[in-house]
Amino acid sequence: MRPSVLTPLFASAQALTGVGPRLLALLKKAVRLPPGISEPRVVDLLWHVPTGVIDRRSEPGLALAVPGTIATFAVRVLKHKAPPPGVAKAPYKVTCEDETGRIDLIFFHAERRFVERQLPVGSTRYISGRVERYGDTLQMVHPDYIVPPEARADLPMLEPVYPLTAGLSGKILLKLMRQAVERVPELPEWQEPRWLKARGWPSFGEAIRRLHVPQEPDEVSPAAPHWQRLAYDELLAGQIALALVRQSFKAQRGRPIVGDGRIRKQLLAALPFALTPSQSKALREIEADMAAPTRMLRLLQGDVGSGKTAVALISMAIAVEAGAQAALMAPTEVLARQHVETIGPLAEKAGVRVALLTGREKGKTRAEILERLARGDIDILVGTHALFQPDVVFKDLAFAVIDEQHRFGVHQRLALQTKGGNGSADVLVMTATPIPRTLLMTHYGDLDVSRLTEKPAGRKPVITTLVSTERLEEVVDGLRRAVSEGAQVYWVCPLIEGNGASELAAAQERHAHLTQVLGPVVGLLHGAMPGRVKDATMAAFAEGKLRVLVSTTVIEVGVNVPNATIMVIEHAERFGLAQLHQLRGRVGRGQRQSYCVLLYKPPLGETAQERLKMMRETEDGFLIAEKDLELRGGGEVLGARQSGMPEFRIANVPNFEELLAAARDDARLLLHTDPHLTSTRGAAIRNLLYLFECDDAVRLFRAA
Ligand code: ADP
Ligand code: MG
């Protein structure tokens, strides 16, 4: 249970004065929410960090006002001049003065009564905004703030600027932020006082206040002490959570799983290829982990197309040889199905029974699968997150493989781990995201890692070109030729941030366009399609009935159609490098020469240009990931938002690697000296964990 002291922060944003359903919907658009949260809460506002600051502190008096700058004045209202009737374009003018001069406040399309109410003749008002010179008069068009003397304090002399959305003004958000900050309770300090002192960091409450109510313009910076503190808080929470997961893993007794090699031998004989050296090495590492009496938790990192599936299959065979069961979990139905299709026939030859369980197996079919699973009549169960449902009970789950794991949250990982009858299943996590070492640590902690470093033999490099959208028709012409010569094409439509509907519309439009040019050989795949239609479309493409597959980014992960040799990505500049890399990995899987066309919309910024050039120059996923990290800086890497990887809320700071290393050491030491978080600091740390929503980790540790 979350400590009640944090309750005000986890209330819906509707708890704030002025927030009704309409504003809530706008906040939902503007503010980033963690996975599984659909309604913005107060805490989500607090993590919505400002990107800049407007300095209104200059109060020069009208005579000394500098045109073009933002300033604040105390003025007396002299007179109103409404536009003559019928002249819609003429502005409404209000003339004001102070002891030193005059200024005209200008309102276009103003509602007369509104202006009159705001600026009654004869009253004193504080106004703030950009001053301009118009002929020889001073003017201010639509002042940002007009407040009476008694509300002077409402005028933010340093106004933080936030990312907004259409319909949500900075002014409204600012008011909400102030309320949100007021709700932050005094919390016992969870950081070491000595560490805080050495760094010059304030308390948590003070830090979050500073974040939203800056006292100096340069405080709105990730380098500022309060910002650094919050970043460290987040990193520390993450590191402690990961350490707790590890600790609980170690606390559970594993069991040695040793197979006799009989099934593996058959599988290796049935595979149409020999394993690459790194596949064999990974298998040896997995085999050793499984044979050990401790629980295995290993990450298998391998670029797209490096052959992780074969490694998964053969290692699952070890569990089956030992008389137990294995599970393979994929992030999407399409992938789960594809896994069954590739694994199934091979497994069958070796006498291994494979079944599929996704959200679509329902009713009798599902009941039957569950029954066979519980009886032990299924050796390998492949599926989606449907594998997590509480009624899915294995007879004896010894080994679980989680594919493309970055799509899953920590919660789900933990849920699968407890599935093993005695909580002892070994876990192999597979990811195609070439995560740089530092990030690996952030998101996975100190996992054991196997890497597939070379691509299977016989692969040709993909030829990548950058083409401006202005030449789209030429590209389509080229496709027509290629398709008539038997090529198959992926066409990925642009990613439209936070807007599934227009993303879909774009894909539908492109599909219609290409069908017109190429004939009825163009399929469409998007996230909102029912699973069956998706599968049918994928199958038609895999069989070559469809020559072109237009899709939103749903094909990003894992799909395997070796005959597809052309990948076109529209608005490539909007994708993260890692995502482009993954998409490109869909082609170049067969013997034929493959191509990747990155369509971009000019003009490209310098960074965008550099990123796309990088794609042209290398296919090394690790290199690309490092470059991505370098270009984007901090933790906003790997197209995290698009790929569903956990993102930082505030730790996107330039020196995050340094803070991360410190947080890791801190977490280790803490759990070493206080494994049950019973010290004073330990108790305070629990607040920290809940604050950053590492609830699962806390639960874990309580169970221990
Ligand atoms: P990923 O690592 O992206 O999941 P897959 O497991 O889907 O990659 O493998 C990609 C393709 O490479 C598949 O068609 C698979 O059959 C093939 N493959 C896997 N290992 C080898 C190998 N050692 N030699 C040749 N082809 C291989
Ligand atoms: Mg795969």
276 CA: nearest ligand 1 atom: 23
Residue pair 660/629 in contact by the 8 Å Cβ criterion:
no
Looking at the CA of residue 458, tell me the nearest atom of ligand 1. 25
pLDDT cut 90: percent of the chain above it? 57
Expressed in angstroms and rounded, the spacing between residue 280 Cα and the centre of ligand 1 is 13
The alpha carbon torsion through 397, 399, 404, 410 (nearest 10 deg) reads 70
Nearest CA to ligand 1 atom 20: 307
Distance 314 CA to ligand 1 centre (A): 13
Looking at ligand 1, which atom is closest to the CA of residue 271?
16
Proximal ligand: closest to the CA of 305: 1
Angle, in degrees to the nearest 10, between helices 308-321 and 333-349: 60
The answer to whether the CB of 110 is under 6 A from ligand 1 is no
User: Tokens 């606390």 sit at which residue?
Assistant: 251
The answer to whether the CB of 434 is under 6 A from ligand 1 is no
**What's the mean pLDDT in 441-449?**
67
Question: What's the whole-number mean pLDDT along residues 523-534?
Answer: 84
Positive/negative CA dihedral, 12, 15, 18, 22 = positive
From 306, 340, 403, mutation site for ligand 1 pocket: most ligand atoms within 8 A of C-beta: 306
Q: What is the pLDDT of residue 270?
A: 94
| pTM for this model (two decimals) | 0.65
Output DSSP code: residue 445: -
Is any ligand 1 atom within 6 A of the Cβ of residue 276? yes
Residue 131: pLDDT over 90:
yes
pLDDT at 634: 44
Report which bound ligand comes closest to the CA of 309: 1
* Ligand 1 site, residue 308, Cβ cutoff 6 A: yes
691 Cα–ligand 2 center, Å: 35
Condensed to tens digits (0 to 9), the pLDDT of residues 79-125 reads: 999 888 877 678 999 999 999 999 999 999 888 899 999 999 999 99
pLDDT for 557 beyond 80: no
Which tops the pLDDT comparison, 632 or 654? 654
Task: Assess whether pLDDT exceeds 80 at residue 136.
Answer: yes
Q: Is it the case that residue 174 has pLDDT exceeding 90?
A: yes
Give the mean pLDDT of 537-553: 90
Binding site membership of 279 for ligand 1 (Cβ less than 6 Å): yes
pLDDT score at 446: 61
Query: Probe ligand 1: pick from 453, 560, 584, max atoms within 8 Å of CB?
Result: 560
Cα 673 to averaged position of ligand 1 atoms, centre (Å): 46
Residue that has been written with the tokens 């869909």 in this structure: 586
CA nearest to 479, candidates 547, 543, 422? 547
Going from the Cα of 329 to the center of ligand 1, the distance in angstroms, rounded, reads 18
Please tell me the least confidently modeled range out of 20-24, 484-488, 520-524, 570-574.
570-574
Ligand 1 geometric centre to CA of 90 (Å): 69
- Is the beta carbon of 651 within 6 A of some atom in ligand 1? no
Helix (H, G, I), strand (E, B) or coil at 567: strand
Q: Which of these ranges, 309-323, 525-539, 570-584, 634-648, has the smallest mean pLDDT? A: 634-648
Q: Decide if pLDDT at 61 tops 70.
A: yes
302 or 203: which leads in pLDDT: 203
- For range 215-242, the mean pLDDT: 91
Instruction: Cite the beta strand spans of 149-192 per DSSP E.
Output: 158-161
Helices 225-251 and 680-691 meet at what angle, rounded to 10? 100
Is the distance from the beta carbon of residue 589 to the nearest atom of ligand 1 less than 6 Å?
yes
Ligand nearest the Cα of residue 272 is: 1
Q: Which 3 state secondary structure label does DSSP give 337? A: helix
Q: Is 581 in the pocket of ligand 1 (CB under 6 A)?
A: no
557 vs 40, residue with greater confidence: 40
Kindly state if the Cβ of 143 falls inside 6 Å of ligand 1.
no
Instruction: Tell me: pLDDT of 356 over 60.
Output: yes
What is the pLDDT at residue 608?
Answer: 85
Q: Which residues pair with 158 in a beta bridge?
A: 55
661-671 average pLDDT score: 90
Please indicate whether residue 431, judged by its CB atom, sits closer than 6 Å to ligand 1: no
Local structure of 72: helix, strand or coil = strand
Confirm or reject: Cβ of 478 under 6 Å from ligand 1. Answer: no
Give me the pLDDT at residue 420, please: 47
Tell me the residue type at 584. Answer: R
Report angle CA 588, 590, 594 to the nearest 5 degrees.
35
What is the set of domains in the chain, with CATH numbers?
A: 4-54+162-220 (no CATH), 57-155 (2.40.50.140), 262-452 (3.40.50.300), 463-618 (3.40.50.300)
What confidence category does residue 412 fall into, taking pLDDT thresholds of 50, 70 and 90?
very low
